[in-house]
Amino acid sequence: MKRTAFQLLVISSVALLLTASQARTRPRYGDTLRADTKTVVMSGDTTPDALVGTVFETLVTVDDSGNLQPGLATNWISTNNGSRWEFTLRSGVNFHDGQPCTPAAIQRAFARLGNIPWHIRATADGLIFESDTPQPNLSALLSLPRYAISATTAEGDTVGTGPFRTDKRTGPIVSLKANDDYWSGRPFVDNLEITTSRTPRDQMTDFTLDRADLIEITPDQWRRAQQDHLRTFASRPAELVAIVVTSSKPELRDTRLRQAISLAIDRAAIHNVIFQRQGEVAASLLPNWLTGYAFLFDINPDVTKARQLRMEVGQVPALAIGYDAANPTERLIAERVALNAHDIGVNMQAVPNTTPGIDLRIRSVALPSLDPATALNGLIDELALMPATSSPTPESLYANERAALQTYSAIPLVFLPRTTALKDRIRNWTASPNGEWHFENVWLVPHSRAEVRP
């Protein structure tokens, strides 16, 4: 009898503990958040993109609605039709080593970037950017990770101004500590440990063995994660998977052949079969949720027209489409594209990227910004397409995008969401619509009280 009573007491205590863990508290300080990412951070890369927003900051940021927000600059104004921009800097900001983030320090940070199309001058409380050609979208451009602000310490280390400071980098592991003096308030977690260059399989193992609180999951892991009732977060379809023409073969320099390949591809089949309908079919560089006009790009194959264009080109040599050998999904895409090419009389073979003489490659490119004009410029830059003007109106963006795609040097296939699996103990989790992680507001429930999801 006594034993039964004791058992009941234990059960009710556990039940109480479980229910107590549901309660909201204001954010709790402390603990270490461990995240895995496939992103490769090169040892020589002092300001890796993956740490922008966490360790390094930009003058301007873009919020989740695509609106520009103050970063290290509090306000900005352009004159001369966008040829001159004046930025006022936030006062009282220090780099992680304590040196003040002054206009002169930021001017030096830009000088280190080299090859920038502006002349930059430091004033008493800000910076003036001047260029020969108008830059109407400069403020948005400066939100890109490549323009993150850093300084060099006396010891030669690179430091930023963000909510976390680099503690140490041991191989692929980047250890960060909360910046107690962060201008926008110290983050809630004490430490952030990011393991980079981690394969999807290793990430899942780390997650299962409770060695990571946060991991990226691939489209083929997504379904399994749902079956296992993992807590997941999927961004908007924000990663563009596209074919990029890399060959200098004369036949592939002919736009008609590239267009024929584009018209032959059954994108819907790739989306339905390989990606199990995750994300959406793409015929544009930017997704519809960002621009509202992507539906104007035709996603349907037109094999008749493709065959006609291919015939006009005449003799076509065998082509090779490359894929990342470590990525089984890319291989499936390459094989399917080769099959579609075969249907219009083009002999194409899917081969690993390491094979010499590759003509086309499968590329995955993350949406670089939530500002449509900046995102388009970033993608055009990344995919080495023709340069675009930077007028931000929907009409001119559409015209730019159509012009960039008219060369068929890049052939969009699908937009995929960036998916994250996270432990139940993580609170205040937010990610941008394009899937970028935000760590500064995250807080952790102690291990013993984290059984119930928020």
Partner 1 sequence: MKRSHYNALFRMTGLTAAFSPGRKRWERDDGIALILFLLVSIVLCLAPSAFAGNFTQPATELAKAIAGATGPGAITFTLSNSSSLTKSEVGDIQHTIEAQLRTSGVRIGSNSNANADVHVTLSENLQGYLWVAEIKQGNQTQVEMVSVPRTEAPSAPHSGPSMTIRKALLWSQPIQILDAYVDNNRMGLLDANAISTFSLNNGKWQRDQSLAITRSHNFPRDLRGMLVPAKDHLADAYLPGTVCNVSASSGIGVSCGDGDDPWPLGTKTALFNSGRNYFTGELFTAVSKASGPFYTLASLPRQNYSLLMLTGADGRVHLNDGVNERVIPASTTADWGSDIAAVKSPCGAGTQVLVTNAGDDTSTDSLRAYEIPDRDPVQVSAPADFPGPITALWTHGDSVTAVARNLRTGSYEAYSVSVACNQ
Where does this chain bind partner 1 (CB under 8 A)?
15-17, 19-29, 63-67, 92, 180-188, 288-293, 295-296, 370, 372, 394-395, 398, 427-430, 433, 440-441, 449, 454
CA dihedral 375, 438, 53, 445 (to 10 degrees): -170
Provide, rounded to whole angstroms, the least separation between the CB of residue 29 and partner 1.
6
Rounded Cα–Cα distance for residues 61 and 134 (Å): 21
**Of 403, 396, 334, whose CA–CA distance to 364 is shortest?**
334
By beta-carbon proximity to partner 1, the closer residue of 221 and 377 is: 377
Instruction: Give least dist CB 180 to partner 1, A.
Output: 8
CB of 181 to partner 1, least distance (A): 6
Residue 19 or 153 having the CB closest to partner 1: 19
By the 8 A CB rule, do 119 and 109 touch? no
Q: Which is nearer to partner 1, 187 or 322 (CB)?
A: 187
Q: Which pair of structure tokens corresponds to residue 84?
A: 């001159």
Q: How far apart are the first and last CA of the chain?
A: 38
Contact 191, 178 (CB under 8 A): yes
Q: How far is the CB of 450 from partner 1 (least distance, A)?
A: 12
Distance (Å, whole) CA 95 – CA 297: 45
In the complex with partner 1, the residue whose CB is nearer, 39 or 232, is 232
Per DSSP, 62 falls in state E
Place of tokens 């060959």: 247
Rounded least distance, CB 217 to partner 1, Å: 20
Is the CB of 15 or the CB of 116 nearer to partner 1? 15
Tell me the β-bridge partners of 426: 444
Name every residue whose Cβ is closer than 8 Å to that of residue 181 and which is 6 or more positions away in sequence.
94
Q: Which is nearer to partner 1, 43 or 65 (CB)?
A: 65
User: Whole-number minimum distance, CB 435 to partner 1, in Å?
Assistant: 14
Residues near 245 by beta carbon (within 8 Å), at least 6 away in sequence? 252, 258, 359, 360, 408, 409, 410, 411
b/e 258-291 (16+ beta carbons within 10 angstroms → b): bbbbbbbbbbeebbeebbeebbbbbbbbbbbebb
In angstroms, the CA 18 to CA 323 distance is 47
Nearer of residues 35 and 332 to partner 1, judged by Cβ: 35
CA distance 214 to 92: 33
User: How near is the Cβ of 25 to partner 1 at its closest, in Å?
Assistant: 4
Min separation Cβ 291 and partner 1, Å: 5
Question: Which CB atom, from 284 or from 340, has the smaller least distance to partner 1?
Answer: 284
